Structure 1
């Protein structure tokens, strides 16, 4: 496991604590809390984090319309104006 020791060395140089998940055990001073369940929250995965930014379908449709604004009017275009528009475009 040379890569593990190399990773730890790089982390140490950068000041990163790779053992941050290892917590100190709790020392109780007489009072017992054995009847209370401990709550442990799992860390989110990268996929879970990125999925919160996934747009809804209406938001995605608005985005596509903003990329191609002619879709808003192209199906209502008056074809009799086509010749004039082609001449004006030259």
Structure 2
């Protein structure tokens, strides 16, 4: 029984580690552009509009003005802070 718990713990830890690595993976320039065009188009991105693509709005909104510019979005893509659309869990 102890061995089963140990194996389960290792599997769970590996899953958490994989999620962290996947979450920090940077989008390609093409994917970043496609997400920007879908999320914001020709205007800045609001916190509400960013929700499906950005988990921590404040990290991408580097100047703290409450909106994400195209330049901030591109930097967020490179830093692995922007992801493709994720539906509700």
Give the structure-2-normalised TM-score: 0.24
Indicate the structure (1 or 2) with the bigger Cα radius of gyration. 1
Q: Which has the higher strand share?
A: 2
- Flag the structure with more relative contact order, 1 or 2, with Cα contacts below 8 A and sequence separation at least 6: 2
